[in-house]
Amino acid sequence: MKRFDYIRTVLDVFAKSPFKPIAMHASKGVEATHAVQKAYEAYCEGNMDAVVEYSNQIDSIEHEADVIKQTIRSEISSSIMLPVKAEDLLNFLKPQDSIADVAQEVGFWLTLRECEMPQDLKEEFGRFVEKTVEAVDTYKLLVDELGDMLESSFGKKDVKEALALVPRVEELEHEVDIIEKDLMTKIFNSEDELGGAAVYHLTELVKLTGDIADKAEHAADRLRTMILRR
């Protein structure tokens, strides 16, 4: 789909609901993160052609997320029927947008070197990425639930139940952080086997991948603030 046609599609959705494009935008972060998981799997299998292909897919997804973000920003300023503060919505949109941005960085870094990890590190990376995906998926569920509520009448009980997903996102981000530290330790302990360049490459991958979950947690916190201040 050409850029102009894609913008028109987003505008059409926005005309019906200002929160549907928010969910569309969040879904791009989910798509990008799942593509990162597939890229990691290909990377650990030594299939660098597939890694490059997934990296290119993530680039396209991130571009689509940018188009949606820019459209939301331009339309929010002219909207007068928002049940939340426009400033809060835009502040929330920034960390949500960063999910796809960081995923794009991970995809690029995976293309730079062939995998040199021993099997135990590959398995640890797999668990690390899986937990990151879970955090982003849970975040998207939160966005969907609160988006639906904002377009209908709802009470404090409904809000409380939906916002219960925020601590779950925070918990998952914490679990990602624990695995991240463990991975860092194992990578540095394997320096003699891996070599300095591989250690640097893998530690950057770990930091960037962990940052995806961090962005999801940050966005969930901003979303909670936006809802409570409405």
The enclosing domain of 193 has a CATH number of 1.20.58.220
Please tell me which residue, 84 or 202, carries the higher pLDDT value: 202
Please state the separation of Cα 122 from the chain's center in Å.
Answer: 22
How many domains are there within the chain?
1
User: DSSP secondary-structure letter at 113?
Assistant: S
The dihedral over CA atoms of 50, 52, 57, 62, expressed in degrees to the nearest 10, equals 150
pTM of the model: 0.88
For the record, the structure tokens of 230 come out as 């409405």
Give the residue numbers spanning the domain of 137. 3-228
For the record, the structure tokens of 2 come out as 């050409």
Helix (H) / strand (E) element for 193: namely helix 191-194
Q: What is the pLDDT of residue 78?
A: 56
Q: Which amino acid is at 82?
A: L
User: DSSP secondary-structure letter at 83?
Assistant: S
Q: Which range, 45-59, 74-88, 161-175, has the best average confidence (pLDDT)? A: 45-59
Query: Is 194:187 a contact under the CB 8 Å cutoff?
Result: yes
Alpha helix stretches (DSSP H) within 45-164:
48-76, 86-110, 119-150, 156-163
Selection from 143, 145, 166, 135 nearest residue 34 by Cα: 135
For the record, the structure tokens of 75 come out as 């339309």
Q: Is the pLDDT of residue 162 over 90?
A: no
Q: Is the pLDDT of residue 199 over 70?
A: yes
Query: Is 130:34 a contact under the CB 8 Å cutoff?
Result: no
Q: What is the pLDDT of residue 158?
A: 66
The string of pLDDT tens digits covering residues 1-59 is: 555 455 455 445 444 556 778 889 999 999 999 999 999 999 999 999 999 999 999 99
- Average pLDDT over the chain reads 87
Q: Which amino acid is at 162?
A: A
The dihedral over CA atoms of 203, 206, 212, 216, expressed in degrees to the nearest 10, equals -110
Least confident of 28-37, 74-83, 133-142, 211-220: 74-83
Across 186-215, b (16+ Cβ under 10 Å) vs e yields bbeebeeebeeebbebbeebbbbbbbbbbb
